[in-house]
């Protein structure tokens, strides 16, 4: 590579670093870019100017300052493009519309059971088009559609290798190409939710997905660790009770059998929201179920903390309800963990039902930035 090409490649790398930093941060200033990325101010000024001209960046108000003249706030342009995120579970479909600033503009939850047939995929294509139309979004600016699914997924082949939740094996989603006029990708629901809930300030973190079934993901140095055989973070199948309750995997005593939300939902006609409503009303039967659930969740959290020694994010459908019960959960965890003085390493999810649908859009935004440098 000659010197001219090296300079050109270095400039491209710096421009992408700047764009990704702003995308991750939300808003920033030129001085913060120079300091955080260890770049000279002339380099920052030149690249920011080019990104502003291209329409990828915008100056959006003034940035917070510790003194002196307030700097212009730099953000990714919110109307540069849009991504549709979809989360398919056994009986529901969640849809979100996300812009290139990573803002969730629209959320819709539909009661619809997954069935592997032509009618379902045709319905999906029509529903996505309807969702976009109702939002008033310019279809020319749709970057793509991300679909999160429970189970073992091959992203490259757009294949569900195995999904206990959906009761299918070796199902190709390529059939959807006939009904969808946009580029689309599929990914595992727990990995997708982890993308949504992960905090850049904590490069190492465990994500525990508490849905009808229990899954998870592990961030190492800011990247998802897939495992040597792409089976990492199967936290739902750690055994926490010898000869305990049967698990759908064929073993007994798995975390999934004790911490899956169906344990709570079964008390309330399958309705998790109703369970917590009754719990807040002081229903003693629900309280007994909840205390037992918290105890097994605390054992699981303690084991994960002992194994990974990093922050733990509790997400999935249950994550959004845990804010009101953090004190109770902390007491339970400290019963099993005498290595930590507090439970400040435990965080609850922010996105509740939308986590997987929102998270599966993130890779599209990253690729959009890369392709528009």
Helix or strand holding residue 211 (H, E): none
Given a contact cutoff of 8 angstroms between Cβ atoms, the answer to whether 77 and 100 are in contact is yes
Residue 5 pLDDT exceeds 70: no
What's the CA angle centered on 120, arms 117 and 124, to 5 degrees? 145
Residue 256 pLDDT exceeds 90: yes
* Average pLDDT of the residues in 199-220: 91
**Sheet-wide strand order for 168-172:** 152-154, 159-163, 168-172
Bridge partners (DSSP) listed for residue 76: 57
Q: Top-level CATH class of 3-76?
A: mainly alpha
Q: Top-level CATH class of 82-193+356-371?
A: alpha beta
Which residues make Cβ contacts (< 8 Å) with residue 229, sequence separation at least 6? none
Domain boundaries, the chain: 3-76, 82-193+356-371, 199-353
CA count, 13 A, side-chain hemisphere, 254: 17
Residue 364 pLDDT exceeds 70: yes
* Average pLDDT of the residues in 209-226: 91
Pick the CATH number of 199-353 from 3.30.420.40, 3.40.50.970, 3.40.1360.10, 3.40.630.10: 3.30.420.40
Residue 4 pLDDT exceeds 80: no
255/235 Cα distance (integer angstroms):
7
Residue 344 pLDDT exceeds 70: yes
| pLDDT tens column, 258-306 | 999 999 999 999 899 999 999 999 999 999 999 999 999 999 999 999 9
The whole-model pTM stands at 0.88
Output the pLDDT for position 3. Answer: 47
Helix or strand holding residue 76 (H, E): strand 72-76
Q: Please check whether the two domains, 3-76 and 82-193+356-371, share a CATH topology.
A: no
Structure tokens at 210: 């508490």
Q: Give the chain's end-to-end CA distance (angstroms, integer).
A: 20
| Buried b / exposed e along 40-60 (16+ C-beta atoms within 10 A) | eeebbeebbeebeeeebbbeb
The burial class, CB within 10 Å (0-12 / 13-18 / 19+), for 17 is middle
CA 293 to the chain's CA centroid:
24
269/363 Cα distance (integer angstroms):
36
* Average pLDDT of the residues in 223-227: 88
């Amino acid at each position: 590579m000659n010197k001219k090409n090296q300079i050109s490649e270095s400039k491209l790398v710096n421009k992408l670093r700047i764009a990704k930093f702003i995308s991750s941060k939300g808003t920033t200033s030129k001085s913060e870019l120079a300091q955080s990325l260890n770049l000279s101010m002339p380099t920052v000024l030149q690249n920011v100017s080019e990104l502003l001209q291209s329409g990828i960046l915008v100056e959006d108000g003034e940035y917070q300052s510790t003194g002196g003249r307030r700097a212009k706030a730099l953000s990714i342009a919110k109307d540069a493009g849009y991504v549709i995120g979809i989360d398919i579970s056994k009986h529901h479909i969640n849809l979100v519309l996300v812009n290139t600033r990573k803002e969730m503009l629209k959320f819709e939850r539909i009661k619809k059971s997954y069935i592997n047939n032509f009618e379902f995929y045709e319905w999906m294509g029509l529903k996505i088009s309807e969702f976009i139309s109702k939002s008033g979004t310019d279809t020319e600016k749709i970057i793509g559609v991300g679909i999160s699914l429970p189970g073992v997924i091959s992203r490259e082949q757009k294949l569900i290798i195995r999904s206990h939740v959906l009761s299918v094996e070796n199902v190709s989603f390529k059939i959807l190409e006939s009904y969808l006029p946009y580029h689309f990708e599929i990914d595992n629901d727990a990995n997708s939710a982890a993308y949504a809930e992960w905090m850049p300030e904590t490069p190492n973190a465990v994500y525990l997905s508490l849905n009808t079934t229990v899954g998870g993901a592990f961030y190492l140095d800011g990247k998802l660790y897939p495992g040597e055989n792409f089976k990492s973070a199967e936290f739902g199948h750690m055994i926490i009770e010898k000869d305990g309750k049967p698990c759908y995997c064929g073993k007994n005593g798995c975390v999934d059998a004790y911490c899956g939300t169906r344990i709570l939902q079964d008390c309330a006609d399958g309705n998790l929201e109703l369970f917590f409503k009754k719990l807040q009303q002081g229903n003693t039967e629900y309280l007994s179920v909840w205390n037992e659930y918290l105890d097994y969740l605390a054992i699981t959290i303690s084991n994960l903390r002992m194994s990974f020694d990093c922050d733990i994010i509790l997400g999935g459908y249950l994550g959004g309800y845990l804010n009101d019960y953090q004190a109770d959960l902390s007491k339970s965890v400290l019963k099993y963990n005498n290595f930590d003085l507090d439970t400040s390493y435990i965080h609850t999810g922010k996105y509740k039902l939308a986590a997987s649908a929102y998270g599966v859009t993130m890779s599209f935004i990253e690729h959009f930035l890369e392709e528009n440098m």
